[in-house]
Structure formats: structure tokens, C-alpha cells
Amino acid sequence: MSATLNSVPGDKRIKVYMTAALALVLIALMAFDTKVISLTELESEVGFSPQQFAQETFPEIQAYVEDNAVNASVLAPEVLQDAGAAGEKYGVAAGIGHIVPVALSGVVAEGRGGVYTLEVVDVPSDITIRVQTGPVINGTTLRDTTGSIQFGGFTNQIEYQDVGAALNDEVKRQVLADISEQALAGKTLEVVGSFTMINPKNWLITPVSIAIIE
């Protein structure tokens, strides 16, 4: 390299040195301007992730529902007597009615599309109790059951709705993965979950825990 440069006229040799020096300066400036960020900072810069929010929040929702669930045999007669008072006593206000955490054990009578009707001892027969097991989980019951996840905590309505869907996906992943593929008719299920009390005689429960007993 030096032999080659020595054979180059002086003015051209100076230009070669200057070009090399400028290249080194440019590389140094690029390195100086490079910012190393953590994964958390990257997610913050990329934008809000409903999936990450659901993964972090679902355990808290699950614990809340399990801690506050009222037994269905206790809840049912109070609901039939005064649904509004029962909802206020045991649940939180939603857009329509209340969302109530409930615990029960029941025999699966029938099911369609992953929604099963349960026969629950000590619950009047004029109350229909159903539980969602997937693959599709509908509604925003999980998002709204604690009353602590509010629209004002999000940038817009899209984020708020996406969180509801992501929490439904999370319960499928954490709770229902081994349940949704099984034939449940005739089996006894222990269920803890929440339902929106729009019709006091028709409960559609979104579970946070579910176990097959028989």
C-alpha cells in the first residue's frame, strides 16, 4: 500500500489521505450518534402492545375474581329477588348492569360452539348458567370485571377494545388451552369467572379458572 502511494504524485497522495481521514471521521460520528435502547424502551417507541398489557394484567384480574367470587347458590336467590342490589353488592358497575365474579360446580348438560350449559345444584332451574370455553371468547367481561381498567387510561377507543380482545386471548392461552378441545358433556366442572348481569336469568360466564372433576 505504501509503495503504491509513494508512486502517486504528491497532490493526489494528499487527496487519498484526506478521503481516508474523512471516512474515519464519518464512522466516528455515526458511532457517536448511535443510541442503544432496552427492549422496554423499544416497545415504548414502537407503540402500545395490547398483548403485553394482557400478559401483565391477566394474573391480577384472575386473582381479583378468585378472591371476590360469590358462590352461585348464594348469588342466585339474591339476583332473583333484586338483580340491581345483588349486582351492586357483589360486582362492579358496567355500561349495562353489573359484572359479578362467581364460583360454582356444575354438570355439563349441553354445549354448542364452545359455550356449555351447566346444571348447578342449589341454583333455581329458571336461571340458565353457561360458560365460555373457546375457541372463541366473546365480550369484554375480563377487561371490565375489576373496574380498574378504564377508557381514560388508553390513547383511543381502538386500544381500549384491543385490550379486551387480548385479555380474551390470554385466558384462552393460560386457562382454556387444555379444555376447549375436550368433549365436556356429562362432566362436572368447577368454574370461577365473571359474567355481565344484563339478564339476571341468563348468566354467560367467562372463566379465569376451570377444572374438570369427572
Complete domains list, the chain, with CATH: 2-33 (no CATH), 47-212 (2.40.50.420)
Q: What percent of the chain has pLDDT over 90?
A: 67
Rg of the chain over all Cα atoms, to the nearest angstrom: 30
Q: What percent of the chain has pLDDT over 70?
A: 78
**Model confidence band, residue 34 (pLDDT cutoffs 50, 70, 90):** very low
- Identify any residues that bridge with 100 across adjacent strands, giving them in sequence order: 195
pLDDT at residue 96 is higher than 80: yes
Which amino acid is residue 170, in one-letter code?
A: E
Catalogue the long-range contacts made by 54-62 (C-beta closer than 8 Å, 24 or more residues apart): 54/163, 54/166, 54/167, 54/169, 54/170, 55/170, 57/149, 57/167, 58/142, 58/167, 58/170, 58/171, 58/174, 60/146, 61/142, 61/145, 61/146, 61/167, 61/208, 62/174, 62/175, 62/208, 62/209
Which amino acid is residue 84, in one-letter code?
A: G
Average confidence score pLDDT of the chain: 86
Three cell numbers, residue 86: 345483588
**Helix 157-174 × helix 50-68 angle, to 10°:** 60
pLDDT at residue 74 is higher than 70: yes
